[in-house]
Structure 1
Amino acid sequence: MNMKFIKKVPTAEEIIAQIPLPDHIKIIKQKRDQEIRKILEGEDNRFILIIGPCSADNEDSVCEYIGRLAQVQEKVKDTILIIPRIYTNKPRTTGEGYKGMIHQPDPSKEPDLCEGIKAIRSLHIRALTEFYMPAADEMLYPENYMYLLDVLGYIAVGARSVENQQHRLTVSGVSTPVGMKNPTSGDLTVMLNSIYAAQQSHNFIYNGWEIETTGNPLAHAILRGAVDASGRNIPNYHYEDLINIAYEYEKQPMVNPAIIVDTNHANSMKRYAEQPRIAREVLISRTYDSLLNKMIKGLMIESYLFEGRQDIGENIYGKSITDACLGWEDTERLIYRIAEKV
């Protein structure tokens, strides 16, 4: 066996007992969870913005960023509900590079997954306790969901994971809203199948248990663009793309059909500065068509304190070490502009 067993990882129960969520924050989170649910179920007409750094690399800078978001949230609360991104797990196409805080609590040091589990829970709880905004994270490893099950406000299943059976089955047992991205190929059937599977009940093995799930009616679509066989990016945020997926979605036997549009990744060709333009186009399409107005519930935007990206070791506070992001000034302007248009 080509494996070296380093140390046993604490169970979710042990970590939650060690780093508990305060009781008064549980009540605040439940209220926020209900608000997000009502938007996805069509009972609340507000628009969702899932926004924040590509990866959460530093607790202090992430919390400073979320603090700024919280101030803006208060000003746009009648039209927008903001869900900050705290992405602590990062997929790597080649397996190389920074894999997120869960792997390296300090990006400049060697991986330490036991400390990483504690670090990501502490970060989510700090952000929630200080700013009352349950955050979004990516379900890169289905088993790790249990460490954050009581703190997450939103979960995304990435383009490289959406066809994986264990992800789909795990989502069926999650009560949190989960966005299922289209795969990198852009095949919408894969995404729709994943949503359907996640909304059904299943029996399977999870963390050493035989379990039965009830299905997640809040599983929905995230459009992030695609990449063709030649490596060229293919956006799927244009009106024709949106109306096509909306019609296909309507044909499916699913509840709460909802779409979130990712303004970065293959939709922007990773040109982060294009995100405001893409957001504007999506809002125009949403205003133009009643079905899109009903189905497009929000946008996903990558943003941090400072624009662009840096390499690990440059140590620029509040600047992404993975994909390039919008800076704060452009982000604030964009949020106010979206609030005016929705």
Structure 2
Amino acid sequence: MRAAVPGPVSRESGGRVTAEPLVSPAALAERMPVTDRVADTVLAAREATCRVLAGTDDRLLVVVGPCSVHDVAAAMAYARLLWDMSEELADDLLLVMRVYLEKPRSALGWPGLLTDPSLDGGFAVHSGLSSARELMLAITELGLPIAVEWLSPITPAYLGDLVTWGAIGARTVESQVHRQLASGLPMPVGMKNATSGSVQSAVDAIRAAAAPHAYLGIADNGAPAILRTSGNPHCHVVLRGGSGRPNYSAEDVRETRRRLRAAGLPERVVIDASHGNSGKCHERQRAVAGEIAERIAAGEDGVRGLLLESFIVSGRQDVVPGEPLVFGQSVTDACMGWDATASLLRSLAVAVRERRRHAQPLVSVINPVASEPSQHA
């Protein structure tokens, strides 16, 4: 019996796609080039981040800033505040600003500045790409390093040259596409534990990202290409809580280090003080970070960094058509306000100084060549 031959599939059988031309990464970079100042900021900050994560620089990495950027002017105002703070606390903290442009969603919601810069569902991607790169250039021109969460696997081709630290989120850490992506990124990448709370997912992602891969992507000229990666040796775990419980305790950190050790990986752990670790209460971030500070002051060296959600104005707001937005207040997750942030950062710096006072320093932060990171950085 002959098998039936299926006929053509109707367009009404499922979703539809329309396509429009997109500027190439090379064309965008030519229009908005990297200056010497920006290149120096990014390279120096990547190298410093690698040393802090490795423990050869005894400072604490702190990735801090808005949950997601929705207003370029407010983001720049925050960046100037953080730049001043980074100068004040440079001996003890390595401050990197969150400039998150893509918002991963469990269901629906505003997807971020990159694809909806007007917050109106218009999906003006060309405008979003230009706004994002212009903002990132302005912040790094100040001398302030930038952190992002990588969501679209194409975005790094457009913006990766401006980023010091990247994250793979809890919703994508088990994705093979994102593990392949991380394996070729030219910066340290934090792998968050899965939304289920699984730390092993992050450990597995680090192992995968450390290996070479080949996958489909786009070249700088915008043409489809086979991308071959070298493997990224600077990936690390980010503990962010999950399944209704936090995972920032000393025991959680010890267990995470045990898993990394068992996998033959460096024991690099960063704590996300928001999300599941704060019970999604922005004010509780101070308590989480305060406990970490106490442990650091007492000699804890297993935590190499912290993530904090912070903006100029505390809390969050809804986007209401026709209504003005509060300047410097999040439209996604609620954030700490600036005054609370500044106080907390100073407390963390004191904790690092106290730890240093009780222990032989691993390396002076004044001597940047004491330990050379891998060329991958």
TM-score range, shorter chain: over 0.9
Letter paired with 2:59: R
**In 1, Cα distance between equivalents of 2:138 and 2:37:** 13
**In 2, Cα distance between equivalents of 1:212 and 1:257:** 27
Letter paired with 1:124: M
Distance 1:63 1:212, change over 3 A: same
Structure 2 counterpart of 1:303: 310
Letter paired with 2:137: I
**In 1, Cα distance between equivalents of 2:37 and 2:296:** 38
Structure 1 counterpart of 2:106: 93
TM (norm. structure 2) is: 0.85
**In 2, Cα distance between equivalents of 1:248 and 1:68:** 38
Structure 1 counterpart of 2:33: 20
Residue 119 in structure 1 maps to residue 131 in structure 2: yes
Q: Classify the secondary structure of the residue corresponding to 1:333.
A: helix
**In 1, Cα distance between equivalents of 2:255 and 2:295:** 12
> Mean Cα displacement is larger for which, 107-116 or 63-72?
107-116
Distance 1:211 1:108, change over 3 A: closer
Residue 78 in structure 1 maps to residue 96 in structure 2: no
Query: 1:227-263: CA deviations, max 9, x gaps?
Result: 2xxxxx2100112212111222221122x43111000
Distance 1:323 1:133, change over 3 A: same
Say which one has the larger Rg.
Answer: 2
Structure 2 counterpart of 1:230: none
Show structure 2 runs of 5+ residues with no match.
Answer: 1-10, 219-223, 353-377
Measured after TM superposition, the shift of residue 195 of structure 1 is 0.7
Letter paired with 1:148: L
Structure 1 counterpart of 2:239: 223
**In 2, Cα distance between equivalents of 1:273 and 1:76:** 23
Letter paired with 1:103: T
Structure 1 counterpart of 2:181: 170
Show structure 1 runs of 5+ residues with no match.
Answer: 228-232
Query: Quick check: 2:296–2:351 contact (8 Å CA) kept in 1?
Result: no
Q: Give the length in aligned residue pairs.
A: 331
Letter paired with 1:238: S
Which residue of the other structure, out of 146, 158, 169, is the alignment partner of 2:169?
158
TM (norm. structure 1) is: 0.93
Distance 1:22 1:127, change over 3 A: same
Distance 1:175 1:135, change over 3 A: same
**In 2, Cα distance between equivalents of 1:193 and 1:21:** 34
Letter paired with 2:33: P
The 5 A counterparts of 1:144-223 are: 144-207=155-218, 208-223=224-239
> Mean Cα displacement is larger for which, 85-94 or 199-208?
199-208
Measured after TM superposition, the shift of residue 175 of structure 1 is 1.5
**In 1, Cα distance between equivalents of 2:70 and 2:344:** 24
Structure 2 counterpart of 1:331: 341
Query: Quick check: 2:149–2:167 contact (8 Å CA) kept in 1?
Result: yes
Query: Quick check: 2:184–2:230 contact (8 Å CA) kept in 1?
Result: yes
Q: Classify the secondary structure of the residue corresponding to 1:149.
A: helix
The percent of aligned pairs where both chains have the same amino acid is: 30
Residue 58 in structure 1 maps to residue 71 in structure 2: yes
Measured after TM superposition, the shift of residue 202 of structure 1 is 1.6
Query: Quick check: 2:290–2:344 contact (8 Å CA) kept in 1?
Result: no
Q: Classify the secondary structure of the residue corresponding to 2:267.
A: coil
Q: Which gives a bigger RCO, structure 1 or 2 (Cα 8 Å, sep 6+)?
A: 2
Measured after TM superposition, the shift of residue 288 of structure 1 is 4.8
Query: Quick check: 2:38–2:162 contact (8 Å CA) kept in 1?
Result: no
Which residue of the other structure, out of 251, 254, 260, is the alignment partner of 2:262?
251
Residue 31 in structure 1 maps to residue 31 in structure 2: no
Measured after TM superposition, the shift of residue 218 of structure 1 is 0.7
Query: Quick check: 2:171–2:195 contact (8 Å CA) kept in 1?
Result: yes
Structure 1 counterpart of 2:366: none
Measured after TM superposition, the shift of residue 283 of structure 1 is 2.9
Letter paired with 1:331: T
**In 2, Cα distance between equivalents of 1:28 and 1:236:** 33
RMSD (Å) for aligned C-alpha atoms = 1.5
Query: Quick check: 2:240–2:271 contact (8 Å CA) kept in 1?
Result: yes
